[in-house]
Structures are given as structure tokens and as C-alpha cells.
Structure 1
């Protein structure tokens, strides 16, 4: 049986320092809310010490449905607003093409 786990690894690249600082300001709450999701197995977002505009992202969800629920929860949130326009340079594993 295939592993149903969905993993996201990569970088969130901010448009400018103002966006990066706003994301950093809200990050603790975003991490707390995501880790509280029942499908979240792990969730780490840290600022890259070599580039203040970059956050290193590592997320793991139990399955595609759990990841979809995470994405649905994000709609209309402060996090969605402040991270809009940032480049999401991610590699996602564990999703079928129709699940992405």
C-alpha cells in the first residue's frame, strides 16, 4: 500500500523586507494554528539566516484530504492576506495530480 502522507518542502520567498517582517510577526500564530489541525503531523517554518526574505518550509500531513483541509482553512485568513504575492518554491510529494 502506498504511503498516503503529503509532504511539502521548500521556500517561501517574500516580495520585500516589509512582507517578510509582517510574515515573521504572524508566524508563531500561523504555526500554532496549523499544528492544531488534526491532519498535521509536522509543520516548521523558519527564517533563512542567509536571506531575510526567505522562509524555509517543511510540512507533513496525514493524507491528501488533510492537506486539502489545511488549504481550505487558510482561505480568507490573515496569513493568506500577508503572504499573498510571495513565491512558494515548494516540492510536494504524496499528491495525485488531481489532488494538487
Structure 2
């Protein structure tokens, strides 16, 4: 079953520059992962500092591997402690 994550991360103003600088590499690395069908992180036009996140992976193993890899990157360091508001569902 495919795994889809949707939601957002609200980045505090004092960390916004760091997060924006790390984002392109995070997107590039994630899209290159085996099992990644799509991965998008886009600024919200309505809420300053909010980034909408949508990702789809081919299966749970690919999704779990992404979570593990991403947890050991610069992205993880610059976003550490910033609450995420995500919903993860299985798709047929």
C-alpha cells in the first residue's frame, strides 16, 4: 500500500532563513529516494512561516526509510523542535 503524508510545519520567524536555505537540498534528496512518488514542500500564501507538506511513497518500507534518512540530515537539525502537523494514511 502507498503511504501519503499531508500537513504542515509552522516555522518561527527567527528560524525561517535557516529552514528556507536547507529546504532545496531536503527536497532534492527526498525525491531521489527509492520509493518516493512525490514530495512537495510549499510556502502557504495564507500563513507566514507555514510550509505545506505532501508526500507519497510506494510502501511503508520506503516511507520508513525516508523518515530514518531525513532524521539524520541538516534539515532535521534546522527544524529540530519545530512541531509538525501531519496526517499519514495508507492508500490502495
Whether the TM-score (by the shorter chain) exceeds 0.5 is yes
Q: Establish whether residue 24 from structure 1 lines up as the match of residue 20 from structure 2.
A: yes
Aligned residues: 91
Per-residue deviation, 1:43: 0.2
SS in 1 for 2:81: coil
Q: Establish whether residue 77 from structure 1 lines up as the match of residue 73 from structure 2.
A: yes
- In terms of Rg, which structure is larger? 1
1:33 — aligned with what? 29
Structure 1's unaligned 5+ residue stretches are: 96-100
Q: Establish whether residue 8 from structure 1 lines up as the match of residue 5 from structure 2.
A: yes
Over aligned residue pairs, what C-alpha RMSD do you find?
Answer: 1.3
Q: Establish whether residue 92 from structure 1 lines up as the match of residue 91 from structure 2.
A: no
- Structure 1 runs of 4+ aligned residues shifted over 2 Å read none
SS in 1 for 2:52: strand
SS in 2 for 1:60: strand
1:98 — aligned with what? none
SS in 2 for 1:26: helix
Question: In structure 1, how many angstroms separate the alpha carbons of the residues matched to 2:71 and 2:42?
Answer: 22
